[in-house]
Amino acid sequence: MSHFLTQEELATIGSVVVESANLEYAVEIFICRLLNLTPRHRTTFLARGMFDGKLQTLENVAQMQLADKEECLAQLKTLISEMKANNSERTLVVHGIWINIDASGSSGLLSLKWLDEPMAEKVVKPIGDPRTLTMTKARALVEKLKVSQNSLMAMYAKIWPTR
C-alpha cells in the first residue's frame, strides 16, 4: 500500500524510525549509567522493552540517583515529558495507517486523482483512534527527536564529564 506515498514521504517516515531508535538507545545508555549497568545488562534488562516504559524507568531512576542535582533533575524531567509527547506522535507515524484527508474533510485511500488535489493533506490515523498526524508534523517530529537526543547527550556529558 505504500505506493501512494512519495519517496520524500517514505523517507520522512524512515527518518522518524531511525531517529527514534537513536533516541531510544541514548535513553538506555543514560539509564545504564545511572544504575552502573554494563552493556550486557542493557541488552538483558532494557533492549526489549517499549520506549514509554524506558522513559518511565529513566524518570524513576533519575529521581533516586540525581536527587542531589536538583537543577539537572528538573531539566531531565522536562526533557522526559517532551520525549513522551514525541513518542505519542512517533507511534502514530510508525503504527498508524496513512490516508488522505481532502479539502472537504472526507477521508479515503489515496488515489492517483487525489495526487492532483492541492488542498489535500496526507495524514496518519490509527484504526479506531480519533487522533491524526499530518506529514508536515511528521517532518517536524524528526527534528524534535534529534533535539531530544542531543539534549539528553549534553545532559549526560554535564553529569559525567570525560576526563
3-state DSSP call for residue 101?
Answer: strand
Span 127-155, pLDDT tens digits: 555 566 778 888 899 999 999 999 999 99
The 10 Å Cβ neighbour count of residue 61 is 16
Longest dimension (CA), the chain: 61
Residues near 137 by beta carbon (within 8 Å), at least 6 away in sequence = 89
3-state DSSP call for residue 121?
Answer: strand
Q: Which of 25, 20, 26, 68 is nearest to 157 (CA)?
A: 26
Span 114-131, pLDDT tens digits: 333 333 456 665 555 556
Residues near 45 by beta carbon (within 8 Å), at least 6 away in sequence = 37
Predicted TM-score (pTM) of the model is: 0.80
Q: Which three cell numbers, joined as nine digits, stand for 76? A: 531531565
Span 36-72, pLDDT tens digits: 999 889 889 998 899 999 999 999 999 999 999 999 9
